[in-house]
Chain A
Amino acid sequence: DTEVTQTPKHLVMGMTNKKSLKCEQHMGHRAMYWYKQKAKKPPELMFVYSYEKLSINESVPSRFSPECPNSSLLNLHLHALQPEDSALYLCASSHVMRARNSPLHFGNGTRLTVT
């Protein structure tokens, strides 16, 4: 069983919709991540939050807007997406330790389809 919970499991949205993906962890981790995974490809890093502050943004288009309301929660707000944004969106968390980090723990993902 995963200790990182993502909702919803599946999401279908139109290009004019606004929706949000949610992620929650209770492992005391202070780093949280969003990854995007297209079919038959590895996960690609989108954003990293460290101590609730955005520490890495991998040049993600502004139609994806992350938010970290507290140390346990991570949201990804979606607006005006394109069909090519359809993918599996994975949330992960880890401890924050200089030089030697802790392993990534992934949630089960949200499978997003943009119509």
Chain B
Amino acid sequence: GIQVEQSPPDLILQEGANSTLRCNFSDSVNNLQWFHQNPWGQLINLFYIPSGTKQNGRLSATTVATERYSLLYISSSQTTDSGVYFCAVVTDNYGQNFVFGPGTRLSVLP
């Protein structure tokens, strides 16, 4: 099956700093989604981005499907950005078999 890797595994930032999280995948995908899991376990949709670039406030994401990677940018980080960031890819034609990467654990310090 498809392999999904994320880097770095852990990241500690000072509030206000910028960061880039990376998701690599081993095969063609039909779709890709980024999630933020907060310390209470809630998984929040960030981006649904099979290709191209999207922006939402301080966050933006770019997926280069032909090169099998996606990047999540966080600018001017805040303590509420802490948590785990997952990318998940879809390989089947009906878009139901989401495979999650191992996640990047982000801690933003005040």
CB distance from B66 to the nearest CB of A (A): 17
Contact partners of A108 in chain B: CB under 8 A: 40-42
Residue of A44, A55, A88, A103 near B96 (CB, 8 A) is A55
Please choose the segment from A16-24, A65-73, A74-82, A91-99 that sits at the chain B interface, where 4 or more of its residues have CB less than 8 A away. Answer: A91-99
Question: Is the Cβ of B101 less than 8 Å from the Cβ of A101?
Answer: no
Question: Is the Cβ of A50 less than 8 Å from the Cβ of B94?
Answer: yes
Within A1-48, the residues touching B (CB, 8 Å) are 2, 31, 33, 37, 41-45, 48
Residue of B31, B40, B44, B102 near A101 (CB, 8 A) is B31
Distance A31 CA – B40 CA, assembled complex (angstroms): 25
How many residues of chain A get a CB closer than 8 Å to chain B's CBs? Answer: 30
Question: Is the Cβ of A90 less than 8 Å from the Cβ of B93?
Answer: no
Residue among A2, A55, A103 with the most chain B CB within 10 A? A103
CB distance from B85 to the nearest CB of A (A): 11
Residue B86 at the chain A interface, CB threshold 8 Å = yes
Give the nearest-CB partner of B88 in chain A.
Answer: A104
CB distance from B98 to the nearest CB of A (A): 6
Distance A104 CA – B30 CA, assembled complex (angstroms): 14
A2 and B33 contact, Cβ closer than 8 Å, known pairs A97-B95, A101-B94, A101-B96: no
Give the nearest-CB partner of A103 in chain B.
Answer: B48
CB distance from B12 to the nearest CB of A (A): 16
Question: Is the Cβ of B101 less than 8 Å from the Cβ of A2?
Answer: no
Question: Is the Cβ of A99 less than 8 Å from the Cβ of B93?
Answer: yes
Question: Is the Cβ of A42 less than 8 Å from the Cβ of B30?
Answer: no
Contact partners of B103 in chain A: CB under 8 A: 42
Distance A38 CA – B32 CA, assembled complex (angstroms): 22
A98 and B98 contact, Cβ closer than 8 Å, known pairs A88-B41, A103-B45, A104-B45: no
Within B48-93, the residues touching A (CB, 8 Å) are 48, 50, 86, 88, 90, 93
20 pairs of residues in contact across A and B, judged by CB atoms under 8 Å: A43-B86, A43-B100, A44-B100, A45-B99, A48-B96, A50-B96, A88-B41, A90-B43, A97-B95, A99-B93, A99-B95, A100-B31, A101-B30, A101-B94, A101-B96, A103-B33, A103-B45, A103-B48, A106-B35, A109-B41
